[in-house]
Amino acid sequence: MLRGRLLENESLAAYTSWRVGGPATYVYIPADLTDTANFIKQLPLDLNVCWLGLGSNTLVRDSGINGVVIITQGALNSITQCGPLTLKVEAGVSCAQIARYSARIGLTGLEFMAGIPGTVGGALAMNAGCYGGETWQTVCKVDMLSRDGEIRTREAGDFEVSYRHVRSFPNEWFVAGYFELKKGEKKESLEKIRVLLEKRNMAQPTSWPNGGSVFRNPVGLYAAKLIEECGLKGLKMGNARVSEKHANFIINEGNATASDIESLINKISSIVEEQKGIRLIPEVCMIG
């Protein structure tokens, strides 16, 4: 018996941080992890499955998604302390929430996650990071949900992890991560988070709909600096614009389409390659 909500032909614009995206054939908002597993188990094998947390770092195309999208935020939201220094965190927990939670109980190592505008599931899937920290630095194991509805625990060493990339297992999805942390000082950790968020708000266009950093940083370089040096701040396609505040962000000025954003991404990439001889690789996941 399923306990979540199944929506048909549901627009995904409300579920993405860019506020764009066409409809999905189905959207499922599960009740909890058990309900998610039961839902996955009864799906036809030929039905495409996508996952969204906060919908950051994701561009859903205007044509939408032919398949089912599972929304983890608000559903897979459990945090459990498994030992003095270990936290088990489900995929729908926001990165900002686990940063603060761990700091408040006197554990250190996840403060940087306050600057990641997504959920733990997405952070695990792409080794998200910022301000010198990366998600998998403290991961000791993970729980994976398979297409047959089984939950399997895998060790961190079972995965190939690199900059903004994790080689996972086919037909398995991250549903929880186990983080091995260190003893810290609550006051010190919370102050570190406060300073980090202040820095982020000063440097990034947080008041506009955006998808987070658009391009990966090339080795030894910064994508934002390359884009800025090419004079692309403020460049527009429709209602999508390269932020004047941070050149590696594209903002939705209102009623932008996913096509506007994707065209702008391609334009930036083309100009930077032409002027700098460097091909920028999108960090954003484009689906649909």
Active site residue 194: no
Catalytic residue among 213, 241, 243, 262: 213
**Nearest C-alpha neighbor of 212 from the set 55, 92, 77:** 55
Active site residue 164: yes
> 105: exposed, middle or buried (C-beta count within 10 Å: 0-12, 13-18, 19+)?
middle
Calpha distance 188→186 (Å, rounded)? 6
Q: Who contacts 277 (Cβ-Cβ below 8 Å, separation ≥6)?
A: none
- In degrees and rounded to multiples of 5, residue 5 shows phi and psi of -110, 130
Calpha distance 92→108 (Å, rounded)? 21
Calpha distance 88→84 (Å, rounded)? 12
Residue with tokens 């297992």: 169
**Nearest C-alpha neighbor of 58 from the set 7, 5, 125:** 125
Catalytic residue among 11, 78, 146, 164: 164
Catalytic residue among 10, 134, 172, 283: 283
Calpha distance 112→133 (Å, rounded)? 6
Calpha distance 88→79 (Å, rounded)? 6
Question: Quick one: the chain helix, strand, coil %, rounded to 5?
Answer: 30, 30, 40
Residue with tokens 């199944």: 6
Q: Catalogue the active-site residues.
A: 164, 213, 283
